[in-house]
Structures are given as structure tokens and as C-alpha cells.
Amino acid sequence: MRMLTSKVKRAFKLNKAGLKIKKDILTLDLSGLNYEEIKKLSNLVYHLPVFFGKKYFIRILGIPYCLMPDLQVYLDFKRSDAEKYLFSRACGSCKFKNACPGFPAKLSSSGLKARAIPDIPLDISIELNTACNLNCRFCSKDKASAMKPLPFKNIRKILAEAKQLGITYVRFTGGEPLLRKDLVKILAYARRSGFTIGLNTNGFLLNKRLLGRIEKYVDNILFSLCGWERESEAIISGKTGGFEEKLANIVRARSSKISYLRIGTVASTILIDNFRHYAALVKKLGVNNWEFYRPFVSPASLKEKDCYVLKRGDFIKLLSRIKRLRRSGVNAYLANALPFCIFKNSANGPALLGAFVDDGHSRVVVDTCGRLKPGYFMDKDLGTNIKQAWQHPFIRKINSLNYLPLRCKACPYLKWCMGGSRGAAKINSGSYFAADPLMDYHA
């Protein structure tokens, strides 16, 4: 990696671009380059996430969002006093109109024009049902309720609007989506509509026959893993028996047409204390992508020493174990929103995914009533229309980050952390715009 870094640094330096690494943030500065110079470097720029995305947070400076829209997650385009900027009608309808200073005049002289990046969610998650064959201790779903599954006609309507807007990724979740008798029909319809498809499942029902029916439609599958052996799985998931069959289903999926497999585990003191046993199982299963989730359970509803009441120290221990596992080659990471200031003076790189996929920052979720909400654990009704939901004042406020303290706004990790979890803030204090209860202002 060091040799590769040195070669890439030299390549950028030779072409007047600057690449710096400070702790776990890799910054590429293309400010001052003309279009021909940027074009010459474009192949290297596009490969930065491939080369370094598993080791560093990546920031690319000096490039307008519309010039490299595929890299918008990594771009950080700020005003420079040395530049002149132009505005067009396209700028007014662009997703980044409030963050972008305008299109650089020097690039416009090369014949380039500003283009509007559509202001839409990057993906949409659809909760097909609340019914589940498990009774996990950490789950917030009311499985005992008479909630009906989301009708197929509603799913078609949602997908039609998503396609019209230009959304290309859809995830199906639940409850347990494999309980839907029309799941294959839903997946086939989504594929015919041109979507890349994700599926969340606990894996118990994904036998050889069902896998054979869905594998041609699913691109990305997430298996939840509660325990490391049958007893711990039964204690956490509430299901006795079938654990070995579930593991066999995961192994079988590795040889299927599904291109990307992940395992997901909700964090607990049981996980932290038995991490090496979990890690041994995941390695044995041969799935290289393992993500961990902060539990969203109200402390008031749990006993004081419940395994899902986690404090800062617990997450520090978990991250230490995750980082050690990453060094062995497993792509492990904390996948949902946590304030980065928990982890004092420690380079963590992409072992922390941050809040980007949570809380309405890049995705909306459709519940079984057809209502849109900002995230799985945010019961804020945004209506039933995707475009209107994305323009909702609540989403606008969430993405403004104006409610965060000044210390957050000066933090170099704000782009990824985004102030931690809005869902956790609501559970803890009753307001989505309060401080994340794990936030450490003194870090």
C-alpha cells in the first residue's frame, strides 16, 4: 500500500495536483488545473476509491460536482477567491445548488457547461412486511400487530415513480421479506424496471429452491447474524433450531449468481465479549463483508444492564476489534450513524461508515403502509410521493446540518459523521435535532 501511495502521489504531483494524507483522510486537490489537465488525470481520480477506499476517507477538492457526478460522494467543492464562477439555469435545479459556488469560468472557457445533478435520493428501501419468523431482542418491529404487507400495486407505483426520477437502486427488507409468497414476482418486476436490487434477510428460509428462483434478480444480499453458534443465535433471535441450515444457506449463496454478499450484526455486549468466536464463524462462512449496527432501542424499555444498552466505552472496544479484523483482510465496519468524536485521536478510516446512508441523507424508506420516512428508525411521515418527500422541510433541515453545534461544523470528519444519529437523538431526548446521546463534545 505504501509503494502504491508513493506512485500515485508522484503521478498527481507531476501533473500539478496535490495528494495529501493526514491520519485517515486522503485529500486530492485539483484546484487551479484546467480542463485538459483534469482530463489527463481523470482515470487516476476515478480509481482513488478503488485503491484507497478501504483505508482512507477520501476528499476531492477543486472539481465542480457536475464535472464528475459519479464521484459526488467524495467531492468537496468550495469557493476560492482566486476563481471566478458562472451560474446558469442548470445550477438552480442542481442537487448541490446550496453547496456549490458555481461553475468555474476557466472550465467554461474550454467549452464545458454546468449540468444539473438531479436532487433525488440515491436509493430507496421498501419494507415489504412486518411479519418475521424471528423474535429478535433488539428489533423495533411490532410483529404481533395485524399490519398488512405492502400491496404489490403499491410497490409497482413506488418503483414507477423511482424510475421516473432516475433512482436506480432499490432494497427490499421487512420484517422477513422471504415470507412474502409473491417475493419472486416483486423482484422480477423490479429487475424488468431496470433497478439494481438489494435484499435483506435473516437467511433461515433461503433454501436451495428459493435461492435458485431469486438469484437472477438480486445483486446484493444482506444476511443478519445474531449469534456465533446455535445457543447464542437462539437467545438473541428467539428461534430455536435451524441455525446450521441458515449457515448452509449463506454458504450456498456464495456460489450463486448474487454478486455481493454481506453479513450484518447488531452490536451488543455479547458480540463485543465474544468477538473472536463471531469472527471465526464469519471467516469460515467465507463472506468478506461484515457490517455492525448500533442498536436503536429505547433505554427506558430495557433493563439497566441489558446487552443492547451500549455506552461510549463499548463502541471503543468494538471498533478496536473491528480494526484488528480489517487488518486480517475482512471488510468490516460500523455501518450506521455514530458520532466520530467518541473515538478520541484515533485514525479509523472507513471502519466507520458514518451517517450518509441514515436519517434521510441519501435514502428514503417506504413502510408497509406506503408512507415514506427518512430512515428505518425514524417514524417521521413524509407522505407517499418520493419527490415531495425528498423536498420535505424535515429532510431539508436534516441535510442542512444547521442544528449541530459549532464544534461539529469545524470538525474535519463532518462530511461523514454528520453529527451522529438523528434517530438516537429522538429516542434519547424526544427531538430529532438534539445532540446524539453518545456525542462527546470534549473529544
Residues 87, 136 within the same domain: no
pLDDT digits (tens, 9 = 90+) for 398-443: 999 999 998 898 899 999 999 999 999 999 899 999 999 998 754 4
Residue 373's closest CA among 126, 102, 52?
Answer: 126
pLDDT in tens, 252-287: 999 999 999 999 999 999 999 999 999 999 999 999
pLDDT of residue 353: 92
Do 83 and 137 lie in one domain? The reply is no
Domain presence at residue 114: no
pLDDT at 145: 56
Please check whether residues 83 and 129 belong to one and the same domain. Answer: no
Let me know whether 191 and 319 are in one domain: yes
SS3 state of residue 372: strand
Same-domain status, 395 and 278: yes
Structural domains in the chain (count): 2
Is residue 282 located within the same domain as residue 135? Answer: yes
Q: Which of 38-42, 142-146, 249-253 has the lowest mean pLDDT?
A: 142-146
- Report the Cα 439 to chain-centroid distance in Å: 20
Quick check: is 92 in a domain? yes
User: Are 326 and 185 contained in the same domain?
Assistant: yes
Measure the CA–CA gap between 53 and 333, rounded to whole angstroms: 12
Averaged over 154-179, what is the pLDDT? 97
For residue 440, what pLDDT is reported?
74
Within this chain, do residues 65 and 144 fall inside the same structural domain, yes or no? no
Outline where 134-207 has alpha helix (H): 152-165, 183-192
- Alpha carbon 16 to its chain centroid, in Å, reads 33
Helix 152-165 × helix 183-192 angle, to 10°: 20
Q: What percent of the chain has pLDDT over 70?
A: 94
Asked if the structure places residue 116 within a domain, the reply is no
Residue 345 has a pLDDT of 62
In one-letter notation, the amino acid at residue 368 is T
Is 279 a domain residue?
A: yes
Domain contains 436: no
pLDDT band at 33 (very low <50, low <70, confident <90, very high): confident
List, edge to edge, every strand of the sheet that includes 260-266.
331-334, 289-293, 260-266, 220-224, 196-201, 169-173, 123-127, 363-366, 372-373
Same domain? For 81 and 41 the reply is yes
pLDDT at residue number 141: 65
Query: Are 200 and 317 found together in one domain?
Result: yes
Query: Which of the listed residues 108, 138, 164 is the one where a domain comes to its end?
Result: 108
Specify if 178 maps to a domain: yes
Q: Are 391 and 265 within one domain?
A: yes
Question: Would residue 431 count as lying in a domain?
Answer: no
What is the mean predicted confidence (pLDDT) over 202-211? 97
Where do we find the cell 398488512? Answer: 148
Give the pLDDT confidence score for residue 11 in this predicted structure: 78
- Say yes or no to pLDDT of 321 above 70: yes
Structural domain including 44 reads 2-108
**pLDDT one-digit tens code per residue, 341-398:** 998 766 788 899 999 988 999 999 999 999 999 999 899 999 999 999 999 999 999 9
Burial 234-244 (b: 16+ CB within 10 A, else e): bebbbbeebbe
Report the alpha-carbon distance of residue 100 to residue 72 in Å, rounded: 12
d(CA 1, CA 228): 33
Predicted local distance difference test score (pLDDT) of residue 426: 93
Statement: residue 183 has pLDDT above 90:
yes
Residues 89, 131 within the same domain: no
Q: Are 170 and 219 in contact (CB under 8 A)?
A: no
Which of these, 241, 33, 48, lies nearest to 134 by C-alpha position?
Answer: 241
Residue 240 belongs to some domain of the structure: yes
Q: What is the mean pLDDT of the chain?
A: 91
